Structure 1
């Protein structure tokens, strides 16, 4: 137990002493909140021109999270840097020499980064909701409305799982550039295409980001997936668990 505590402290020191990781967390907050605020202001301005159908489908809570799509990219970068940064510099050999038990090293690395991502994710989600509803004015939602609190907390949990998933992929690939080259296009482009093209829509609904984002929705869409908000979150959590397991097995069997 004493060794785990020391490794946890070491991993926390690594995160807070590297400026790039702190910058990415700050960027996640800034991008998510600012874009959500801007989109909410634009929606308020154009709300009167919406059709009756669009007004019924309008989700003020999810509108305030409009910046999550770009904000999550910063969380992806953070997750990748926490893991693969050591591979890029060769410091992973020093870390493994100090902590020969690779499972302990990976667990501590993920645990510390997950806690940091959770705090940042919850702060970001609450800030995005608050500013978004302020911009929406009388068209906004209240924290006491059904499903709103779940969506706000879910926004923070979603960003946390995105970070852990990115860490797992970085553990598998071990290269910062390769990891980002896979994750960025997948979450920013490929996933959205698969989820919106009729041929692949059913499969796309079960991708980690598409399923996980359902927890941030309050208004049910016309063509909902065959799972609810927490069901989607569970699907995303399963993706993350599988990715972490594969990452651990590869890290355990390969050379540094």
Structure 2
């Protein structure tokens, strides 16, 4: 089957499964709603904010406060896109129709990545504009240095979270197992390691902590990271590439 036909087939599969479409919508709604809420709360409590926090205040990054929860749905989206066929048993039919396993996997990932990027980028811009409207006189604009990069970076971050999850799901196959690994990793392990002095320097190289650097315009006062915004995104890309390579290697050498 030609690669174009495989891509069309994968597009049809993703559209026909309501759960995958809903997860993208939930990711957008949660990210935007929480970002607006936190931005409004920050503006209201500005007078009570310590002076050191005001010096390092990053209005762009504040508007992305909902991203930490919104990425939960992007993780679920990435896992479902790849593992749904394993859980239903349709993977055997798909691989019989497309015996070239690399073509099968990367056509699926290409379509899902395009969808994730479209939703992630739109979400990032909407979150930014609504968040800044809530911050009032403490807001910023796309004309300011680094802001446009951060907003586009928000869309890239959400996309890469989804693609990383696709790679992990391709390795583990089971949606429950993949989610059981990814959820604790991003919401417990990464946070714990990042808040312990003995491991915080190692945690900076985890995909979420490195990748989120792209959304920062004003670095924290205690920031001594050796990489900048694009360097952090590059580290995240390496994690994603490793996950995809692992998924492809296992798909190629084992039975469906």
Residue in 1 aligned with 2:249?
Answer: 249
Tell me, in whole angstroms, the C-alpha distance in 2 between the residues paired with 1:193 and 1:99. 42
Residue in 2 aligned with 1:10?
Answer: 9
Pairing 1:1-256 to 2, within 5 Å after superposition: 3-224=2-223, 225-256=225-256
Tell me, in whole angstroms, the C-alpha distance in 2 between the residues paired with 1:222 and 1:43. 18
Question: What is the TM-score normalised by the length of structure 1?
Answer: 0.98
Structure 1 stretch displaced more, 185-194 or 73-82: 185-194
User: Which 5+ residue runs of structure 1 have no aligned equivalent?
Assistant: none
Structure 1 stretch displaced more, 96-105 or 187-196: 187-196
Q: How far did residue 234 of structure 1 move?
A: 0.2
Tell me, in whole angstroms, the C-alpha distance in 1 between the residues paired with 2:188 and 2:146. 29
Q: How far did residue 223 of structure 1 move?
A: 2.5
For the residue of structure 1 that corresponds to 2:198, the secondary structure is coil
Q: How far did residue 73 of structure 1 move?
A: 0.6
Q: How far did residue 57 of structure 1 move?
A: 1.1
Deviation digits for residues 54-77 of structure 1, max 9, x if unmatched?
100111000000000010010000
Runs of at least 4 residues off by over 4 Å: none
Q: How far did residue 195 of structure 1 move?
A: 1.1
Deviation digits for residues 76-117 of structure 1, max 9, x if unmatched?
000000000100000000000000000000110000000000
For the residue of structure 1 that corresponds to 2:218, the secondary structure is coil
Counting matched residue pairs gives: 255
Deviation digits for residues 120-141 of structure 1, max 9, x if unmatched?
0001100110110000011011
For the residue of structure 1 that corresponds to 2:2, the secondary structure is helix
For the residue of structure 1 that corresponds to 2:107, the secondary structure is helix
Q: How far did residue 49 of structure 1 move?
A: 1.3
User: Which 5+ residue runs of structure 2 have no aligned equivalent?
Assistant: none
